[in-house]
Structure 1
Amino acid sequence: MNTTEVLRQLSELGDVFTKKEAQEKLGMSTKQLNYYLEALLREGFLGRVTKGIYTLSLEPGRASSPMSSFVLAFKGYLSKKAYSPDYRFSGDLDYTPAFGGAE
Structure 2
Amino acid sequence: MKVGDRIKVLRLQRGYTQHSMAEKLHIGRAHYSHIENNRINPSIDNLSRIADILNTTTDYLLDRTGDTSQSSVDIDHPAIQLLSRAACRMTEEQVLQLRRVAEVLYPDAFRE
TM-score, normalisation: structure 1:
0.30
Larger Rg: 1
